[in-house]
Each structure stands twice: as C-alpha cells, then as structure tokens.
Amino acid sequence: MYELDSYDVIVIGAGHAGCEAALAAARLGCKTAVFTLSLDAIANMPCNPCIGGSAKGQLVRELSCLGGEMGRAADFTFIQSRMLNRGKGPAVHSLRVQSDRVKYHSYMKKTLEQTDGLDIKQSEVTEICTENGRVTGVITKLGAFCKAKCVIVTTGTYLGGKIHIGEMNYTSGPDNVNAALPLTESLKKLGVSMRRFKTGTPARVHKRSIDFSVMEEQKGDEYITPFCFDNTFSLENKSTCYVTYTNENTHRIILENLHRSPLYAGRIKGVGPRYCPSIEDKIVRFSDKPRHQLFVEPMGLDTDEYYLQGMSSSLPEDVQIKFLRTIKGLENVEIMRPAYAIEYDCCDPLELYATLEFKKISGLFGAGQFNCTSGYEEAAVQGLVAGINAARKIKGEPLYVPERSSSYIGTLIDDLVTKGCNEPYRMMTGRSEYRLMLRHDNAEERLLATGRELGLVSEQRYALFLERRAAIDEEKERITRTSLPVSRELNELLERKGTSRINQSVKFIELLKRPQISYNELLPFDDSHPKLSHELVEKLETEIKYEGYIKTQDEKIKQMKKLEDKPLSPDTDYSLISGLRLEAREKLQKFKPLNIGQASRISGVNPADISVLLIWLEGGRHGKG
C-alpha cells in the first residue's frame, strides 16, 4: 500500500448523487476527490434519460435553488419539456424533461473537470478506513491510500451489482460497467447494516423499426418552464415522444413465460420498487387491466436509440422480442439493448442522521441509491445535502438539515431516517402533508435564501430573484387597486367561462379569484398592465387563487415548526427518562432524533411519549437524561 494524496472530502461514485456531493463540497472550499469506476459513466442515465416527473420535478427545482447542478444540466441538454398534471391543481404540477443522454453526461463531466479544488479519479475504492470511530481515508484496488476527513458513499446500483436477464445472470453494474464488490465487506466490517434491493430497466430499440404513425404523439409544451429561472441560453423542444399500449397478446406471452422470469423463479432475492414495477409484475398484480401504457422516447438527438418507458423487464431476450412485437407500432421492433433487472447492495437509512452522516461513524456519509432510494432526482438531492454537510463538518459549522415543511428534499430525508424503507423509496407528492406549499413555482421563495446562506447561490442570482419577486408583488398590488368597468365584451367572457356576469365595476383581483378566469383573459379589459413572463403570470395566479388554502397550510406548518425548533441531543439516554413507554424508549434510543418534530414521526412513538419528552425538555434535563 502507498499513500497517494490527502483530501478534505472523498466521494465514492460519480452518478447523480456523487456529482452533486463532489461539486457542493468543492464549491464550498474543500479539497475534494470523486472516485468512479469509469469516467465514461459520470452522471450516466442507465434508465430513461429524463429529469423530473411527478414530485421529482419539485426535487430538481429545489436542488437548483440550493445551488445544485442537475437542473441547469437538464435545462441545457433537454430535447423535450413538459409540465405534467396541468389539468390538476398547482400542488401537483411537475416539470419533466427528456434529456439527451450523451450530452447530459458530457455537460456534467465537463462541469466536474472545470471545478476548482475537485479531482476526478477513475479507480475503484475497496475499503473505507477509520480510527476510533472516525473516517481517516480510503484504499483503492491498486493499493493506494488516500487520506480524508469525510467520505461520502454514492455507489448507486454498482455496489454488489448483479444483472439478470431470464436464466442468465452475471456480476456487473449498469451498462456492463464493472460492479464494485469488496466495498460491501468493508462497510459490513465497520458495522454498517447492508441490504439487497433490485431495480430494472426496459429495452432500447432502433428508431427505424418503429411505426410512429400508429402511435399517439406527445409534444412538448408551447411555453417552456426551466428548472433554473436564471438561465441565459435558449430553451426549445427538439423532439417528440409517443404513446402506445400493450394488449391481450402481450399479456398472454408474458404470462406463459413467467417461469423463465428470475423474479418469479426465485433467482432474484432483492426487493424491487413498488411504484415502478416490471411489466410482468404489472400484468400479474393488475390482471383486470386489459392494457398498459408505454412511452416511446428518444435517447438523444444524435442517436437512433429509443427507450420504452413503462416496459421494464427481466424476462429472456427472446421473450422480450416476442411480446414487444405484439404492440401497435412495434411489430417489427429491433432490440438494441435488452431489458434487465439489477440487484445491488445498500445501507439501512435508519442508521443515518438527517444530515446523512452515519450515527456510528463520524465523517462517513451516504447518499442516493446507497440510502435505499430510487431515481436520479432523489439521488441528486441527497448528494447535495451530504456534500454540504461534509464541508460544514470540516469547517466546524452547524450542519444543514432541510425542513420537512419547506421542501420535498426535507420530506425525503426525514422519511428515510425516521421511517426507514423496505423497498426502494420514490418521491411522490402524496408523501408530503404540505404539498400545497411545496409547489414547483415557489421553490425560489422557499429555498433560494438558504442556498445563498449556505454559500452555493451567488449574490447576482439572488438579486435577480428579488427583481422577479418584486415584479409579482407590484402587479398583485396594482390589480388590487385596478377596477374593470362593466362592458358587453367582459360579460360575454364571464358567461362563456361559466361564471356570473357583473353589474358594476369590479376589482381585477376579485375576478381573477374566480377559478374559471385567467389573468391573460382579463388583460384586454385593462389598458395599464405590465408585460410579465408566462412563468411569473402562473406564479401570480396561483398565489391569488389559492390564497385561502395556502394560509391554512401555513398555520399548520407554524404549529409543527414549534416542535422542530425543540432540539434533542444525539447523546440523550432515553432509558433514563421516566414516563416513556418501553417501545418508545427503544425506538428513540435507536433512531436518535434531532428534534421533537422528528421524534413524533418515528413509528412506535405516540403523542403521550411526545408530551413526556416536552415536559422533560422544559425541566432542563438535557443531554444524557
């Protein structure tokens, strides 16, 4: 063994979590290194090359406001952009973009390369070294020892990776990149509890073998909403996606070959994602459905590879060809890369603080699929938080814990460390009790100041946000004062929209509060209006139309914040607090919550136990009990 170098922060893995962790730590002034099995796999998209989606779009927008890179990379490399759930309320509006896979990788690799204080190393880390319960560095496969004050594990599905396609299985990470094997044993020796999860991906097929004319066309939005409000480059849709469906023949072929599925034959031991099941799982679990939707989406502008979203499978390649060719538009399909399932190793997130640092090992952090989540977006936001906290720990600054009430990032991390998970965790809007406050359109108001305080958002960017905010506030004030006179044309509009006519002048804002009426529809009746962007108009409308609901939810957040503001020491010995039930003592002792709010969300801790803790805190008996 030889000593190679010394770093403040070492990141193991350069996927979406690893990139964000490394960039955050380096940008905050720490000498950082990111180790990857392959430079060609940096920010790889082994599944669909898309960023965002339901709730995931909110995560990316929040990450951007805290100073992360994924949103900017997605804006720069997207080929189609759509805001999902437009027909529903603003709480579930979520941005999703189809990215160019190769260009996304190239953008992120270049960003890492050009970041000061950040070294990129193609090398496998086989061991994490500790001394007296603290991280001291890592050892590579080539026998190099690199010192480190903090280490962040972001190994994705490469850790113990095993590919399954029908009866065939072999050790590998995604896209046939080598799996990382020895690191699992090193983590176990450190006392980290490991578990086995599974995920999968659909086949990639050749464009020339697809008949798009019989599929449903799915175009991008006319008005494109970016992830980063301060982008200066042009945003335009450059491709179209398509929708088609499975049918009775598709289902028959799959059911006839279930015995060849490694999942149903028992060869896969890992637990798979409930909310992103394989096509064979869908057909078995939802046997009453005559068809299932699949999306035919391009992998990029300079390739003829297409991705079949919704058709994840681990069936043999010959079966995949048969069932795909029963689908409308895919009768002559040519598979370029077969679908596969992959098993991998991950930790128990209950062993982490909400800072994403391991409770038992000082300076060791985890992020991404290593923490039992699924999805690029969930990984990226954890990487950002882990990178921020590694840097702050080294500097002796208070660690950052995103609040559940202020972000989906906080919701995700809080769920992981207080509830744990028995399957890959996927973020959904329904996971947050505050989703009306955690909208896509107000992420800047919620988090940009925090990003600035953390040191990852520039003064220039924050000033631009203030200008945008002032424009909305000024227009809200103006339409509060502005009256629209009665006219035949205005009443005709109101009648067409299914709302009552007016008999006298009415304030602009009062008409806008009507759910049937939009801001732009009222502009022809107002001669003094300013010109606002489509995005700012949507923000203005949402704030006005949902004002009452927002105030109600804000009150609930204030009530919960009172509990979040009551800290608990990680050194507290709950066995010494009289009045706590035995189950509550055991759970609190195991999870070590950082505040009363977090303690209240632990399964097995009831309101009576929280009352005991509050009385104990008020008595001033902190610390060890």
Could you please report the per-residue DSSP string of 5-30? EEEEEEEE--SHHHHHHHHHHHHTT-
Provide the 8-state DSSP code for 360: S
The boundaries of every CATH 1.10.150.570 domain in the chain are: 566-618
The boundaries of every CATH 1.10.10.1800 domain in the chain are: 472-545
3-state secondary structure of 34: strand
Spatial distance between the Cα atoms of 15 and 112, rounded to a whole number of angstroms: 12
Q: What is the mean pLDDT of residues 265-275?
A: 80
Q: Is the pLDDT of residue 503 over 80?
A: yes
CATH annotation of 472-545: 1.10.10.1800
CATH annotation of 566-618: 1.10.150.570
Q: Percentage of residues in the chain with pLDDT exceeding 70?
A: 99
Burial annotation 377-408 (CB, 10 A radius, 16+ → b, else e): bbbbbbbbbbbbbbbbbbeeeebbbbbbbbbb
Q: 625: pLDDT confidence band, cut at 50, 70 and 90? A: very low
Q: 75: pLDDT confidence band, cut at 50, 70 and 90? A: very high
Q: What is the mean pLDDT of residues 204-216?
A: 98
Residue among 355, 378, 379 at smallest CA distance from 365: 355
pLDDT for 551 equals 86
pLDDT for 621 equals 56
Residue 17 CB contacts under 8 Å (≥ 6 apart), including other chains: 154, 156, 367, 368, 369, 370, 379, 380, 382, 383, 386
The boundaries of every CATH 2.40.30.260 domain in the chain are: 204-340
CATH annotation of 2-198+343-454: 3.50.50.60
Beta bridge partners of 152: 11, 365
Radius of gyration of the chain (CA): 26
**Between 554 and 319, where is the model more confident?**
319
Look over the chain and give the mean of its residue pLDDT values, rounded to a whole number. 94
Q: HSE (CB half, 13 Å, CA atoms) of 289?
A: 14
Residue among 56, 55, 57, 71 at smallest CA distance from 20: 71
Please name the fold of domain 204-340: Elongation Factor Tu (Ef-tu); domain 3 (2.40.30)
pLDDT for 374 equals 93
Q: 529: pLDDT confidence band, cut at 50, 70 and 90? A: confident
The boundaries of every CATH 3.50.50.60 domain in the chain are: 2-198+343-454
Is 0.85 surpassed by the pTM of this model? yes
pLDDT for 624 equals 47
Residue among 132, 142, 131 at smallest CA distance from 182: 142
pLDDT for 187 equals 98
Q: HSE (CB half, 13 Å, CA atoms) of 332?
A: 6
